């Protein structure tokens, strides 16, 4: 088993409830200069272009999660998951695909399954299909629906959750956290609290 970081979304209480979504080298440099940010999610960037910065993040004890469905440079197969775990020191993987999560889990990475809350029936069906053996955490998207479906989530959720998508204010973040999310992924740097 390859444990990537001593900090994780599951084992640590997030001091700051926002999880920056990093999409390029410049944003990663910005995050690493901010000592209060301890967890990041990589999306839409080429993992090999930022490899040296990922090493710096790992040495600084920053937990690194990868949205494997939206990252360049690595394929979500056995070799790709192994490379992320052993060479990139990735803490966890976010994906829509249960097979990818299962592979990630086999290399000791935390796994986050994205659930789209399109409508109440779709949300219920998606939650019923979650494999709790290969999934550690859920990502409910879009995040702005979480306060409105919190009763349904509390009744149906088999796992703790974070939320992502369509967030534009700090007030929305606070409401989502009050509704039970462990954290909120944010792509807008001005909201990286």
- pLDDT tens profile 116-165: 988 888 888 888 888 999 999 999 999 999 999 988 888 888 899 999 99
Q: Residues 189, 145, 127, 161: is their CA dihedral positive or negative?
A: positive
Side-chain half-sphere exposure of 79, counting CA atoms within 13 A = 3
Q: Which helix (H) or strand (E) holds 177?
A: helix 170-178
3-state secondary structure of 118: coil
Question: The domain 18-191 belongs to what CATH superfamily?
Answer: Aldolase class I (3.20.20.70)
The pTM of the full predicted model, rounded to 2 decimals, is: 0.91
Q: For residues 101 and 119, what is the distance between their CA atoms, to the nearest angstrom? A: 24
Torsion of CA 174, 180, 186, 191, to 10 degrees: 20
pLDDT in tens, 5-40: 445 776 655 666 899 999 999 999 998 888 788 899
């Amino acid at each position: 088993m390859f444990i990537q970081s001593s900090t994780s979304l599951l084992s640590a209480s997030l001091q700051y409830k926002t999880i920056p979504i990093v999409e390029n080298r410049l944003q990663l440099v910005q995050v690493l200069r901010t000592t209060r940010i301890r967890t990041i999610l990589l999306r839409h960037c080429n993992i090999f272009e930022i490899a040296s910065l990922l090493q710096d993040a790992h040495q600084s004890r920053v937990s690194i999660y990868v949205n494997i469905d939206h990252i360049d440079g690595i394929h979500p197969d056995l070799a790709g998951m192994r490379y992320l775990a052993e060479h990139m020191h990735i803490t966890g993987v976010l994906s829509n695909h249960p097979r990818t999560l299962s592979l990630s889990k086999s290399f000791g990475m935390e796994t986050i399954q994205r659930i789209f809350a399109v409508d109440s029936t779709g949300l219920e069906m998606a939650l019923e299909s979650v494999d709790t053996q290969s999934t550690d955490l859920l990502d409910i998207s879009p995040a702005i629906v979480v306060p409105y479906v919190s009763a349904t989530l509390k009744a149906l959720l088999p796992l703790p959750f974070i939320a992502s998508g369509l967030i534009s204010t700090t007030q929305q973040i606070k409401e989502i956290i009050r509704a039970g999310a462990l954290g909120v992924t944010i792509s807008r740097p001005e909201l990286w609290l």
